[in-house]
Amino acid sequence: MIEATYIDHMGNDLSVVNAARVSFGKKSKLICTDLVQGTYDMSKGDKRLIKYLAEHKHLSPFGHAFASFHIKAPIFVARQLVKHKFLRWNEISRRYVKDDPQFFYPDHYRNVSEDKKQGSGGIVSNEVGNTAIQAVTALCANSTIQYNKLLDAGVCEEQARMILPQNTMTEWYWSGSLDAFAAMCQLRCKSDTQVETQHVAWAIHYKMKELFPVSWEALMDD
């Protein structure tokens, strides 16, 4: 199962505002919007500033708000997402870990897209789906057996792992600034992104929208 688990974050929308306003020796504060409920919000001017920064590509203030996630996904998803170089990445290594591998099995298999050189289309027929399930299940079972045989024979972990298929699950810590995660989501939440990769991107999108509502909307609308 593909998972994107929130770990922690630093800063908020006001952090972005004050990172920008420091250039003029200014600092903003939240304003009370309801004395009874004790709720606070940003001023309209601060919200407009965030929108202005995003629209005009003044992105450095967004680098002062930060978030971290723990991702679990198959290798073929990880190899797409690792390309986002401005996000910090630390991944489990099978040079050191030799537990039995876990595998990703999709809920359904998709056919080849008719109008694109890459990507996928609709769900395959039951017959084709059953063939795919049997083939992938057999491959994963056999690769696990052969992987353990290599380890038991004394082959080192860093070489034994090469027998494992692309749907082997991996996991990593992924951290970065608001603007870095926004750049990733702008690309990976698109409909032409591989569905499994979209699962990770959308999970991060919804959490970032919750943590930094004003900044995230401004960046994603850009």
Catalytic residue numbers read: 188
Please tell me what DSSP assigns to residue 60.
G
Residue carrying structure tokens 């996904």 = 73
Q: For the chain, how many helices (H) and strands (E)?
A: 8, 8
Are residues 199 and 74 in contact, defined by beta-carbon separation less than 8 angstroms? no
Distance CA 193, CA 142 (A): 30
Are residues 35 and 182 in contact, defined by beta-carbon separation less than 8 angstroms? no
Strand 39-41 versus strand 110-112 pairing type = unpaired
Question: DSSP strand E in 135-216: where?
Answer: 169-177
User: By CB neighbour count within 10 A (0-12 exposed, 13-18 middle, 19+ buried), where does 96 fall?
Assistant: exposed
